[in-house]
Amino acid sequence: MKLNLKIWRQADATSKGSIQTYPIDGVEGDMSFLEMLDVLNEDLINKGDEPVVFDHDCREGICGSCSLQINGEPHGPDRLVTTCQLHMRKFNDGDTITIEPFRAKAFPVVKDLMIDRSSFDRIQQAGGYVSVNTSGNTIDANAIPIEKENADDAFYAATCIGCGACVAACKNASAMLFTSAKVSQYALLPQGQVEATTRVLNMVEQMDKEGFGNCTNTGACEVECPKGISLENIARMNREYLSASLKG
């Protein structure tokens, strides 16, 4: 299949970028989207041009490195996949595909399609942990039974891969789904209760400091999340935040 790619190129964080057009031929349906870009890059290198820079690593949908806004949607038109798992069979011969970096003030462009998501790390550092020493002197793992439903919900919240699609999809570039997934994971487990109050207050404060927008409940994040993280987590975080604020 033949495609027309319109790709955002930007030399570095301070340069001004623009969309460049690249025709590409010989794309097969079995290729993943990133393998298609590999083919383009090999071609560019052989022609003496600079290849397109994009983040990627595991290429099996779990590391959260790959991003890419494809035709106006994070990780492209397919649902519950990351860009590395998006396959070219979802596109048709002759299609024009626009590829941009995830855009948010809190995700500055590093180069071309690569962005800086360290804001996510800082949100986690603000409280996304249980303060237990890793010495191994803890109680037996089965000492506290946990209701299966809560354990499962905590797990589903914890499957967030930190890719940033929620921010990219949100018209407000809000990081509520990301932050709430971590808050929820701990809120649902007894181990997380001790620090619940400070955790949610600190993480939300950091989230705001990073310059993410406010949640307006459009639900775009949930739809575009490659792991299907539920909006329920945001409601839970709102609840946790309110009760933490009231406790002071």
Partner 1 sequence: MSILDSKTPEGPLADKWTNHKNNINLVNPANKRNIDVIVVGTGLAGGSAAATLAELGYNVKTFCYQDSPRRAHSIAAQGGINAAKNYQGDGDSNYRLFYDTVKGGDYRSRESNVYRLAEVSANIIDQCVAQGVPFAREYGGLLDNRSFGGVLVSRTFYAKGQTGQQLLLGAYSAMNRQINRGKIQPFNRHEMLDVVKVGGKARGIIARDLVTGKIERHSAHAVVLATGGYGNVFFLSTNAMGSNVTAAWKAHRRGAFMANPCYTQIHPTCIPVSGDHQSKLTLMSESLRNDGRIWVPKKKEDSVAIREGKKKPTDLKEDERDYYLERRYPAFGNLVPRDVASRAAKERCDAGFGVNKTGEAVYLDFASAIKRYGKEQATINHAENPSEQEIYDLGKAVIENKYGNLFQMYEKIVDENPYKTPMMIYPAVHYTMGGLWVDYNLQTTVEGLYAAGEANFSDHGANRLGASALMQGLADGYFVLPYTIGDYLSHDIRTGKIPTDTAEFDQAQKDVEERINKLMNGSGQHSVDYYHKKLGKIMWNKCGMSRNAKDLQEAIDEIATLRADFWANVKVPGTKNELNQELEKAGRVADFLELGELFAKDALNRNESAGGHFREESVEQSGEQKGEALRDDENFKYVAAWEYKGAPKDAVLHKEELVFENIELKTRSYK
Partner 2 sequence: MGIISSSIARKVAMALSGLFLVFFLGQHFTINLMSVFSPDTFNETSHFMGTNPIVQFLLQPVLIFGVVFHFIMGFILEIRNRNARAVKYASYKGSANASWASRNMIISGLVILAFLGLHFYDFWAPELNVKYFKGDMSGLIDPDNVNSGFRYYEELVHKFESPIRVGIYVVAFLLLAVHLWHGFASSFQSVGFNNKYSVALTKFAKVYAIVIPAGFIFIALYLHLNQLPH
* 94-153: contacts with partner 2 (CB under 8 A): 98, 100, 103-106, 109
Q: How does strand 3-9 pair with strand 96-100?
A: parallel
Q: Which residues of 191-205 are buried (b: 16+ CB within 10 A; e: fewer)?
A: ebeebbbebbbbbbe
Site for partner 1 in 138-167 (CB under 8 A): 138-142, 145-148, 151-152, 154-155, 158-159, 161-162
Cβ proximity to partner 2, 51 vs 219, nearer residue: 219
Number of residues that bind partner 1 (CB under 8 A): 79
Query: Smallest gap, in angstroms, from Cβ of residue 29 to partner 2?
Result: 22
Query: Smallest gap, in angstroms, from Cβ of residue 91 to partner 2?
Result: 14
Task: Return the bridge partners of 98, or none.
Answer: 6
The torsion defined by the Cα of 68, 91, 60 and 115, in degrees rounded to 10, comes to -10
Site for partner 2 in 19-58 (CB under 8 A): 19
With both helix axes pointing from N to C terminus, report the angle between 232-247 and 176-187 in degrees, rounded to the nearest 10.
Answer: 70
Query: Smallest gap, in angstroms, from Cβ of residue 214 to partner 1?
Result: 24
**Taking CB under 8 A as the rule, which mask of x and - marks residues 184-203 in contact with partner 1?**
-xx--x-xx-----------
Site for partner 2 in 182-211 (CB under 8 A): 204-205, 207-208, 211
Cβ proximity to partner 1, 116 vs 239, nearer residue: 116
Query: Smallest gap, in angstroms, from Cβ of residue 104 to partner 1?
Result: 15
CA-wise closest residue to 12 among 109, 102, 103: 109
Site for partner 1 in 202-231 (CB under 8 A): none
Site for partner 1 in 62-91 (CB under 8 A): 62-65, 78, 80-81, 85, 87, 89
Applying CB under 8 A, among 14, 18, 48, 246 the residue interacting with partner 1 is 48
Site for partner 1 in 14-33 (CB under 8 A): 28-32
Query: Smallest gap, in angstroms, from Cβ of residue 47 to partner 2?
Result: 24
Contact residues for partner 2 (CB under 8 A)? 6, 8, 19, 69, 71-73, 77, 98, 100, 103-106, 109, 169, 171-174, 176, 204-205, 207-208, 211-220, 223-224, 231-232, 234-242, 245
